[in-house]
Amino acid sequence: MAGDAASRRRRRKRCWRLLRDPRVRLEWRSILVCGGGSSAVYPVLYGRSGCCSWAAAVKVLLINNHSVLNVGDHAILVETLRLLQAGVPQVEIVLTFNDTVSAQAMLPGYPIRSSPLTWMTRTAEDGETTVAVARWRQAGLIVLLVLQALIYRLTHLTPRLFVDDRKHDLVRAFAAAELVLACGGGYIYASGPHDGVLGGFNLRLINCVLAVLMGKPLVLLPQSIGPLYDIPQRRIVQWIVRRARLTFVRERQSLAILQALGCAERALYAPDLAFGMTSAPDERTAQLREHVRAVSLQPAFLVGMTAINWHGQNIAFDRQQRYEQALISFIDTITAKGGVVVFFNQCCGPTAVEDDRLVHARLRERVAQARRVILIDDVLPPDVIQAAYGEMDYFVGTRLHSVILALNAGVPSIAIGYLQKTAGVLGAVGLTDWCCDINELTAEQLGAMFSRLQQQAVQPEASAYVQRAGRTKQTLPALLRMVVGKG
């Protein structure tokens, strides 16, 4: 056993040397930024290398998935699974989800485990939101989880501390995993200083804490970090990132936060995994395209849009009505010029406050020319909805991944940011001037930005970034192999 451990350490050191050696005869395609104190920039190898083959099967637990009813989450998941299965032929993947019902329906080939977040929340009386269970019950579940993790760490046994099968199944999935991957996304943020020990912030990170306590190699796939409002929130992020094998961040603001926390030694910059996703072929989108054309009244141009009930998901946001009124005025300007607006269903659950279709219907009822506003309410796979975005002339999205998919499809886009992740990702792409803050949004600002977009018509920075991102993602299996030490 000691010899195997020493061999794995030697292989990891060789991989790190390959990543840093400019003399390696490979084609360099992109860069990852090392987040250490020196902020050094290292090339990332692309293509064939001595690090890219897996000689043994590896068991992966992919945690922190929210819901496949959110197209952004679904797109990240699809690309993560594709990369793992292409680069790790014998990989065995188990998924944890907050929304297990839709996951089991749409991903029948994968074992699905319920996240601890689902144990500690319940549907509210209004049927639209989720609320936390009693604090004493949350605390008891957390204590049992920590105890279960520590027992496993000391004995490699998983005695049954939970009567509920779904809870014990999750513990067994962690115990069996050789690598724990925290899915990419934007869930490491707090809604305010009130987001305490038993608040949503820490409940979203329980899976990461469990992986660390059980001694499992943890890798955080491309994330946005923050905002963080107080010392306890910063400390939990610092504790997790320092103990993770690698933390990928998808924008430089997040990297700066980790540097300020003093935990960026193993943080790397990498694009959001949805960038570079391939659109569905024409035959899968023909019916949708015909539907748009049939009701579009011979438009001068088509504008795809997504909107969000941000107040419903973050009670600290008190400008929902102002935001919606700005969109209504903007839509009236578009339709007055002969344009047609197409609202796409980027997210439809699992709760009502996450269902964008309700916001879209509300907006359509209040615009001047409702017949020139089309609602696409179908639940579509990410590659199909991306292909549909490609039929638009322009795109204005509040959902970050609706903008990412539109950029993948080559559509000039404007983003409305409701968290700092939007400005960060658009800044990485080179489109800082095409992002506006939901807190300051006005119809005049959005209209002026759209007029500029019509005049420019193309965003070459986006096309270049999408191509680089697609190549950079191919390095992920090699980096994960280095972490696991199999080969």
Q: What is the pLDDT of residues 192-228, one digit of tens each?
A: 777 665 567 778 899 999 999 999 999 999 999 988 9
- Work out the percent of the chain whose per-residue pLDDT is above 90: 63
pLDDT band at 8 (very low <50, low <70, confident <90, very high): low
Do 309 and 212 lie in one domain? The reply is: no
* Domain end (from 219, 254, 273): 273
Confirm whether 480 is domain-assigned: no
In this structure, the answer to whether residues 293 and 191 fall within a common structural domain is: no
Which CA distances in Å does 42 have to 19, 29, 48, 179, 425? 7, 11, 18, 24, 20
pLDDT tens track for 241-259: 999 999 999 999 999 999 9
Task: Please give the tally of structural domains in the chain.
Answer: 2
Residues 214 and 347 in one domain: no
Q: Which tokens is 150 given?
A: 């520590």
What six digits make up the tokens of 416?
Answer: 């409305």
Phi and psi torsions of 52, nearest 5°: -100, -5
Mean pLDDT of 130-147: 84
Are residues 331 and 226 part of one domain? no
pLDDT band (50, 70, 90) for residue 126: low
Calculate mean pLDDT across residues 370-374: 93
Pair (208, 164) in one structural domain:
yes
**Residue positions counted in the chain:** 487
Nearest 5°: the CA angle 373, 374, 378 is: 150
Q: Which residues lie across from 122 on neighbouring strands?
A: 131
Longest alpha-carbon distance in the chain: 74
The reply to whether 349 and 442 lie within a common domain is yes
pLDDT value at residue 449? 96
Helices (H) and strands (E) in the chain, counts: 20, 18
Are 223 and 268 found together in one domain?
Answer: yes
Average pLDDT over residues 284-296: 67
Predicted pLDDT of residue 200: 73
Please tell me the least confidently modeled range out of 43-57, 136-150, 176-190, 311-325: 43-57
In a domain, 108, yes or no: yes
* Domain-terminating residue out of 273, 307, 327: 273
- In terms of C-beta density within 10 A (0-12 exposed, 13-18 middle, 19 or more buried), how is residue 443 classed? middle
Distance CA(394)–CA(380), nearest Å, equals 20
> Same structural domain for residues 111 and 260?
yes
Domain limits for position 256:
29-273
List all residues 6 or more positions away from 243 whose beta carbon is below 8 Å from its beta carbon: 212, 218
- 143 in a domain, yes or no? yes
Model pTM score: 0.87
H helix intervals, 88-223: 100-106, 116-119, 135-155, 165-176, 200-204, 206-213
Q: pLDDT averaged over the chain? A: 85
Written as one string, the DSSP assignment of 71-82 is HHHHHHHHHHHH
328: its two tokens: 């209504």
Q: In terms of domains, do 259 and 363 share one?
A: no
Position 1 in a domain: no
Tell me, yes or no, whether 242 and 361 share the same domain.
no
Rounded distance between C-alpha atoms, residue 90 and residue 70, angstroms: 28
128 confidence band (pLDDT: 50, 70, 90): low
Q: Are 474 and 274 in contact (CB under 8 A)?
A: no
Q: What share of the chain is helix, strand, coil (3-state, %, to 5)?
A: 50, 20, 35
Residue 129 in any domain: the answer is: yes
- Residues 70, 355: contact at Cβ < 8 Å? no
Residues with Cβ within 8 Å of 485's Cβ and at least 6 positions away in sequence, in order, are 7, 8, 9, 11, 12
Are 237 and 119 within one domain? yes
Three-state secondary-structure class, residue 36: coil
